Each structure stands twice: as C-alpha cells, then as structure tokens.
Amino acid sequence: MTGKLLAGKSRKLLPGLCSMLGTLLILAVIAAFLPLTVPRLLGYEAYEVISGSMEPEIPVGSVIYVKAAEPEMISEGDIIAFWRRDSVITHRVVENHQSDGEFITKGDANSQEDMTPVPYGDLLGRVKLHIPVLGTVMAILAGGTGKIYAALLAVWGVMLHILAGILKASGERKNER
C-alpha cells in the first residue's frame, strides 16, 4: 500500500519538477539577454570596459550604457564614450572646446590628460550607467560559444516541459486503469 502511494505521489511530483526546472532555464536565458537588448530599445548602446583607465569609478569588466548626446551639451566632468582608431574609449571630459569642436579628456586612473583631443565627430555619447562585472558576462553571451550555450539551455528548458507533459499524461493513463 505504501509503495503505491509513493508511486502515485512521484507521478504527480516529477512532472511538476520537470516543468518548473524547464521554466527556470528558459527564464534564465531571457534574463541573461535582457541587459543586452532592452537598453538598445531605449536608445542606449552597451560596451564592455576592458582597461583600467577609469578605475575606481568604472572597473574593468563593467558594462557601460551610452546615450547619444549633442557635443555642445557635454560638460566638464561628464564621462563620455568616443572612437579612437578602432576602439571605443571611455574617459572624463576635462574641457569642452566648443570653438574648436573638440574635447580634452582624461582617464580617472591616468596621471595626465589624453595627448590627443577628441573631435566632436568621434563622440558616441554620454555614459549614463555602468554596472560592474556585467560587461564580462555580456561579452561571453555575445560570442558564438555563449549563444550556443544559451540556445542549448533554452532547448533543454523546452524539452523538460515536453517531458513533464509526457509524464503527466502517462500518470493520468495509469490512474484511469
């Protein structure tokens, strides 16, 4: 009698556990990509910080969210992102030379101002938010391997939901007998 009771409970418990685990996997994949997608919908670009020139304010491995801004609206002390050669640089504005159309910038951790002024045309925008560590996670997810793992986790989540349905249907058939 006890064996049948336990078997009946496990037939009800196992589909629920599979369904719950499948849901958690799918939600984890969605949550992992939210910091990459939602800000773009709101007009922000996200970049990973790979150098320590803005530490301790912005640590290496952070993600920065940059909003486009008019160069004339940038003030001394603002943190901006700009193109320098083929890289995105994030430094603090020391001076905005509107008459010359350029910024004088400096990394917080650097002892001197940057040697080359930043032309207005190279401005990406003002840094509005930075989140430590998330840049490293973002870089992993944006890479090919990260996308493959995310897809596999989502597939496993769906498969667990399918398994839950099969187990539930099987349990219902056994209860009908």
CATH number at residue 148: 2.10.109.10
The confidence score (pLDDT) of residue 174 equals 66
The confidence score (pLDDT) of residue 88 equals 95
Residue 8 scores a pLDDT above 70: no
The confidence score (pLDDT) of residue 6 equals 46
Task: Specify the range with the lowest mean pLDDT, choosing from 12-16, 46-50, 104-108.
Answer: 12-16
Q: Which domain holds residue 63?
A: 17-168
> Does some domain include residue 4?
no
> Does some domain include residue 65?
yes
The confidence score (pLDDT) of residue 126 equals 98
Please report how the helices 144-176 and 2-41 are oriented relative to each other, as an axis angle in degrees rounded to 10: 150
For the chain, the straight-line distance linking the first and the last C-alpha, in angstroms and rounded, comes to: 17
Sign for the CA dihedral angle at 173, 175, 176, 177 comes to: positive
CA dist., res. 45 & res. 68, Å (int): 9
> Does some domain include residue 117?
yes
Say how many domains are in the chain: 1
Residue ranges of the alpha helices (H) in 42-143? 134-142
- 119 compared with 5, residue with greater pLDDT: 119
Q: What is the pTM of this model?
A: 0.73
